[in-house]
Amino acid sequence: MIIEPILFYGFASLAAITALVAITRANPLFTALWLVVCFMAVAGIFGLLDAPIVALFQVLLAAGAIMVLFIFVLMFVDLDAHGFSRIDVKISKFVGVFASAYLIVMAALAFMRVPRMAAPMTDETFTNISTLGRLLSNEYAVPFELITVTLIVAMVGTVVMGKKRI
């Protein structure tokens, strides 16, 4: 169909533009809001690729839970009181330019390299939500719980660091 490539390029362009806008904003709250739009565009791409479970998780976890957590933590941190020094900004710009150049080189190498193996074939149970639940509760239970604990520790640490001293 002709509509699928149009939607794909629309979602891909929206994701790329909003990601670029998000990293150029000075206000962290606006960065979070632009990232929500970017995550929704990525969820649209997953939906076009016939991966509804991944699209649903993208909306619920990335755009929903993680961004709400991020905005919640931003409300606790008083950014005006701490401020950023000019040295920190210069170092972060240098690191950003270096990381961008590295990623561009790695992407170019990945596009030039011919894939050596075909994608694995999947059966009907691959798209079944019970299979994913079984994998998360059996084989990947420990990494799943470690991620949960890490997010909670990061949130508590941010609240403690952002708490005003009396």
In which element (H, E) is residue 71 found? helix 67-76
Is 116 within the bounds of a domain? no
Query: Taking the model in full, what pTM does it have?
Result: 0.57
Helix (H/G/I), strand (E/B), else coil: 35: helix
pLDDT of residue 148: 80
The residue with tokens 């909670």 is 152
pLDDT of residue 116: 64
pLDDT: which is higher, 159 or 115? 159
Domain extent for 164: 128-166
pLDDT of residue 142: 84
Is 4 within the bounds of a domain? yes
Is 120 within the bounds of a domain? no
Instruction: Spell out the residues 6+ positions from residue 52 whose beta carbon is closer than 8 angstroms to its own.
Output: 46, 127
Q: Which of 26-40, 81-95, 123-137 has the highest mean pLDDT?
A: 26-40
Give the pLDDT mean for 58-78: 76
pLDDT of residue 129: 73
- Residue 49's Cβ-side half-sphere holds a number of Cα atoms within 13 Å equal to 14
Is 123 within the bounds of a domain? no
The C-alpha atoms of residue 81 and residue 96 are separated, in whole angstroms, by: 25
DSSP character for 78?
-
Of 22-31, 78-87, 153-162, least confident by mean pLDDT is: 78-87
Q: How many domains does the chain have?
A: 3
The residue with tokens 């905005």 is 71
Whether 6 has a pLDDT exceeding 80, the answer reads yes
Q: Do 61 and 85 share a structural domain?
A: no
Is 43 within the bounds of a domain? yes
Question: Could you please report the per-residue DSSP string of 43-64?
Answer: HHHHHHTT-HHHHHHIIIIIII
Instruction: Spell out the residues 6+ positions from residue 164 whose beta carbon is closer than 8 angstroms to its own.
Output: 78, 81
